Amino acid sequence: MAKFSRKGKKELQAISTASLPDIVFMLLFFFMVSTTMREVTLMVRTNLPFATEVTKLEKKSLVSYIYVGPPMLQYQVKLGTEPRIQLNDSFKTLGDIRDFISSERDAMKEDQRPLLTTSLKIDQNTRMGIVTDIKQELRKASALKMIYAARRKE
Partner 1 sequence: MARRVPEVNASSTADIAFLLLIFFLVTTTMNVDTGLARMLPPMPEKNQKQADVEVKKRNIFPVLINMNDKLLVRGEPMDAMFLREKAKEFIVNPNNDPNLSEQDEKDIPLIGKYRVSKGVISLQNDRGTSYNMYMEVQNELVAAYDELRNNLSRSLFGKPFDKLTQDEQDAVSKAIPVRISEAEPKNVGGK
Interface characters, 98-117, with partner 1 (x: CB under 8 A): -------------------x
Distance between CA 25 and CA 19 in Å, rounded? 10
- Of 7 and 38, which has the nearer Cβ to partner 1? 38
User: Per rule CB under 8 A, is residue 144 in the interface with partner 1?
Assistant: yes
Three-class SS of residue 90? strand
* Pairing, β 117-122 against β 63-69: parallel
Q: Applying CB under 8 A, which of residues 13, 35, 41, 93 lies at the interface with partner 1?
A: 35
Cβ atoms of residues 66 and 120 within 8 Å: yes
Q: Is 118 helix (H, G, I), strand (E, B) or coil?
A: strand
Pairing of strands 90-92, 84-87: antiparallel
Distance (Å, whole) CA 110 – CA 107: 9
> With CB under 8 A as the contact rule, which of the stretches 2-10, 12-20, 91-99, 102-110 interacts with partner 1?
12-20
**59 contributes a contact to partner 1 by CB under 8 A:** no
The nearer residue to partner 1, 53 or 111, going by C-beta atoms, is: 53
Among 5, 73, 129, 154, binds partner 1 (CB under 8 A): 129
Is the CB of 25 or the CB of 76 nearer to partner 1? 25
CA dist 48 and 150 (Å) reads 5
Q: Whole-angstrom Cα distance, residue 38 to residue 36?
A: 6
> Which residues contact partner 1 by CB under 8 A?
17-18, 20-21, 24-25, 27-28, 31-32, 34-38, 49-57, 60, 63, 117, 119-120, 122-129, 131-132, 135, 138-140, 142-152
